[in-house]
Chain A
Amino acid sequence: MAKTDSLQGSLDLLVLKILSRRPRLHGYAIMAAIASTSEEVLRAEEGSLYPALYRMEEAGWIRAEWIKKDTGRRARVYELTDAGKKQLGAEESRWQLVSMAINRVLREA
């Protein structure tokens, strides 16, 4: 649970970044990608991943599509929209700003 908290406020950024690198991922793949690229440090919980995905979908940053998997089941895959790309840029620069600020505070102390 503590790990999830560390994602607070940056889950959107992570999801958008992952999707910008590898379009058309389903929910589990996004979760797995966050875990593997962060070398298991960061972990998105299902309980917050899906609401975040739906929220971003309603905001028009990502769009979803049903595809047929080899197993015969359908999966819902997501990809970035143009608005999402813009949003990613904004979130990234905001993150830079925040993390630099935090680093400065840590150095002062």
Chain B
Amino acid sequence: MSLWSRISNALRGGRLNREIDEEFEAHIEEAIASGRDPGEARRTFGSILRQREAARNIRVAGWLESILADVRFGWRQLCRSKVTSAAAVLSLALGIGSCVAAFRLIDALLWRPLPIAHSSDLYVLSRKMTGFDGKPAEHDAWATPDFNLMRDAVRNADKDQADLIAISYADRTDITWTTDDDTEKAHVVYASGNMFPLFGLEPTLGRLLAPADDRGSGMDPYAVLSWDYWNQRFGRDPHVLGRSLHIGDQSFQIIGVGPREFTGIEKGTVTDIFLPLRMSSFATQESVTWHRTFLMLKPDVNRAAALEPLRQHLSEVSRAFETERSKRLHGMSRASIDRYLNQTLVFYPAGAGISDLQKDYRRSLGILGLLAALVLLIACVNVANMMTAQAAARAQEMALRISIGAGRHRLVRLILCQSALLAFMASVLGSLFAAWSAPFVLSLINPPDNPARLALVADWRVLLFGFGLILLVVLLLGLLPALRASAVRPVSALKGGEDPHSPRRLMRGAIALQVAFCCLVLFLSSLFVASFQRLQNRPLGFSTDRILLLETVAGKGQLPVVWNQTADALRAAPGVDSVAISSWALLKGIAINSSISIHGAPPVTAFFLNISPGWFSTMKIPIVAGRDFRPEDASPGAAIVNETFVKTFFPGQDAIGRSFERGVDPRLYQIVAVTPDVPYRDLREPGRAIFYVPFDETDEKSVPRSAGFATFVIHTDAQNPLALAGSLRQLIAQRHNGLRVSNITTQDDLVRDQTIRERLIAMLAAFFAAVALLLAGIGLYAVLNYSVLQRRREIGIRMAVGSTRAGIVRIVTVDAFAMIALGFGAGVALGFGAARSVGSLFYQVKATDADMIALPACAILLTAVVATLPAVLRALRTDPTEILRAE
């Protein structure tokens, strides 16, 4: 209470003085009233002023009072040059805000531990292997029978060491709450029953899945909702317990709602519904790898000692499983099976969650963080320059302060107070900026059917980071000018200064630093922007214009004739130009391969797609040679291959009329046409060997095979294909033939999805580049302007003794341009280093491309010219007679 009252007294100094005076007056009055001589009564106090000071010192926190005085003084200094101060605050705010926003994103996605017990003991199992294409590959997907063996092995042998948990990928699934056709999408996760207890999670409502819910397929049709889904979909209705939801032909009963913070283990996706692992039809299939496997160490197990034996044990169990399984594989060569079996099991820490979003954006966010930090540094250098200039202008004042007895630490504090004031104002603005920009950037990661969702909480982690950042900024800004100012030697400063050039030398070094940072930002930005442009302008080989995609499912599958009739009905609808069917759309992100054998040669793998006749013309893909499929073609039978397929398997030959076998089916596919390569799964992939087969498939007895899903590819007359989506979906529903539209998109959107990351980085990088360039320009302008002002006398004398205008321009700019060249070289060197570490983010762009360096060079040169122009003009306008007269 005492400290508090002293602090509050410091904040109301004026009032305190009045109170002390009033008390003394009252005392004197009492004394006079009790009969003392007024003069004497007054004299006993001695000097009232001195008494007041003594009283004050007791009642006031002195250090605070002097800091307050410093802050007030600093504020007046800032107010003296309002425009400069505002620019300083704004640029710092932008830098601080960007850094905090980048930190929030990176922390939320990559670093923040999951809200579960013992998150640091959680590991994910992954295996490194050689893929079928001969390249190293890594997968974290496991088959449930394999998981069961591993889990039992851990349970039997390493009982006190760890537990294994299976959690499937969050899958956007069609679910129904009522029995009618009113389906909606939800992210569904299948998890082993031990997940909730091992994570130490408690239900908000009802109960959570337990190990007892793992009894067997179809035995435990229970579902647990996540709190988020319960909140959004049901408005936290407690009566949701006991309701049923339907997925396909399965029904699940809601038994509980999970804890509020837990949204699943995939950062970036919020899980809506948790189901028991064994309820999935995949759970019994040994060849379907469909869930992740996690290892949770027991709480007091020695991590270093336990992990390696566990890894070896699990590796043996899994290898035994795969060896057994490979005996039942057909259509693969012994060599490729052996290669496949040569796997290495590895553990990765998974305490911060694990997701594709993390994998895709780890490096991108790192780069954005780096760019934000560089912008902040540039802003700091700018403001430090400003303060150095001001401090130089105040050298005499500082000298005077020291002469009349100010301690040097008091001077340091004076300037640090000023920079803290700047940093404080900037951080208030910056936190507003960060509060807006972090969710904004996140919202840009928005594939239409799966926008990224991430909890961006502002808690002590963010506060701590922000506080550290402000401290750093204060020191960066203030320390150098403060030390310089406090090192002032009063005698020489009051005489007129010993070395007027020293602050300029410091500021010139700052220019080099700033240009280096700016160049690094520009260089990286131009690489990212060029990558994005090249990716976006990559020739697709097909048309995305006016293509509507109706992704359609048929519960238990429908015969091709049903699909074809539906396509006919769509064709008859108004506004529809042409309709074709493919199993899935190009660039949907799906790739399925199949082993093929050419004339009995050892099997090789190639990717395929089932399509209906007319698909090529709808997609505007030309047929180079041969003919399109006809309605009577079926699979197996006819096939169309792309040019890479021809180059790979029939080099230098005419492929048309040739044939190949697929899998173990002895029936032949005969190649009827060749088409150009088009991107198949994603935009970045190199050309793959792809074969197209008819959508109509038949089994060994030539009986038509039913299809469970396919996409209607519709070319519309209208510019916006989505305008027709509603009516066409309705049209399919009205046919009541078991087909149901599950998702609607356009080919344009699928292409756009492929470039979301590149677009995001390019956009933000361009933004940071513009800011960096602007700040560097302002910095350069300020330094040159200051230097011309300082050297006015010198310039005037030079002019008077006959220096030419070119000579004046040279002495004003030559130093600056030397510094710019130095900074540019350093920046490019740094850029090469940085670019090498993120090379995987570039598309057809190399750091060594000449135009990648030329662009930043031109931008910096142009900025430099614009920024130096005012200073040069000012120098040239110097009037020697006026200067000399003033001296």
Contact = CB atoms under 8 A, between A and B. Distances in A.
Given A28-B31, A60-B1, A47 B55 contact: no
Interface in A55-100: 55, 57-60, 69, 71, 73-76
Nearest to A55: B58
Contact of B59 (A28, A32, A46, A58): A58
A88 B26 CA distance: 27
Interface in B13-27: 19, 22-27
A59 B1 CA distance: 9
Contacts of A50: 23-24, 51, 55
Contacts of B45: 46-47
A57 B1 CA distance: 10
A54 B5 CA distance: 11
Interface string B13-48: 000000100111111011100100000000011100
B54 interface: yes
Contacts of A32: 34
Contact of A75 (B2, B5, B26, B55): B26
Question: B-side binding surface: helix, strand, loop or mixed?
Answer: helix
B59 A26 contact: no
A45 B55 CA distance: 14
B151 to A, nearest CB: 65
A57 B22 CA distance: 17
B267 interface: no
Nearest to B47: A47
A9 interface: no
Contact of A58 (B2, B29, B44): B2
Contacts of A28: 26-27, 30-31, 34
B27 A46 contact: yes
Contact of A26 (B26, B44, B55): B26
Interface string A27-57: 1110010000000000001110011001101
Contacts of B25: 73
Q: Considering residues B29, B46, B58, which has the most beta carbons from chain A within 10 angstroms of its beta carbon? A: B58
Q: Considering residues A54, A71, A73, which has the most beta carbons from chain B within 10 angstroms of its beta carbon? A: A54
B5 A58 contact: yes
A70 to B, nearest CB: 11
Contact of B27 (A26, A54, A57, A60): A26
B6 interface: yes
B490 to A, nearest CB: 36
Nearest to B2: A58
Contacts of A45: 44
Contacts of A57: 59
A32 B55 CA distance: 21
A51 B29 contact: no
A90 B392 CA distance: 58
Range, interface on chain A: 20 to 34
Contact of A47 (B2, B5, B22, B46): B46
Given A29-B30, A73-B29, A76-B23, A59 B2 contact: yes
Q: Considering residues B2, B27, B46, which has the most beta carbons from chain A within 10 angstroms of its beta carbon? A: B27
Interface residues of B, number: 23
B73 to A, nearest CB: 27
B51 A76 contact: no
Contacts of A26: 23, 26-27, 30
Contacts of B59: 54, 57-58
B38 to A, nearest CB: 14
A51 B55 contact: yes
Nearest to A27: B27
A47 B27 CA distance: 12
B26 A54 contact: no
Nearest to A76: B23
Contacts of A59: 2
B10 to A, nearest CB: 12
Contacts of A51: 54-55, 58
Interface string B628-639: 000000000000
Interface string B596-639: 00000000000000000000000000000000000000000000
Contacts of A29: 30
Contacts of B54: 47, 51
Given A51-B54, A55-B58, A76 B44 contact: no
Interface in B45-78: 45-46, 51, 54-55, 58-59
A74 B34 contact: no
Nearest to B31: A28
B58 A73 contact: no
Contacts of B29: 71, 73
A73 B22 CA distance: 9
A26 B28 CA distance: 12
A102 to B, nearest CB: 29
A69 B6 CA distance: 27
Given A54-B59, A58-B2, A58-B5, A46 B51 contact: yes
A29 B30 CA distance: 8
Contacts of B5: 58
A73 B1 CA distance: 28
B27 to A, nearest CB: 5
Contacts of B30: 26, 28-29, 75
Nearest to B30: A28
A59 B5 CA distance: 10
A73 B26 contact: yes
Interface of A: 26-29, 32, 45-47, 50-51, 54-55, 57-60, 69, 71, 73-76
Sorted nearest first, the 10 A-B pairs with minimum C-beta distance are A28-B30, A54-B58, A58-B2, A28-B27, A76-B23, A75-B26, A27-B27, A54-B59, A46-B45, A46-B44
16 contacts: A26-B23, A27-B27, A28-B31, A45-B44, A46-B27, A47-B54, A50-B24, A51-B55, A51-B58, A54-B55, A54-B59, A55-B58, A58-B2, A58-B59, A74-B22, A76-B26
Given A26-B30, A27-B27, 5 more contacts: A46-B45, A47-B51, A51-B55, A54-B55, A60-B1
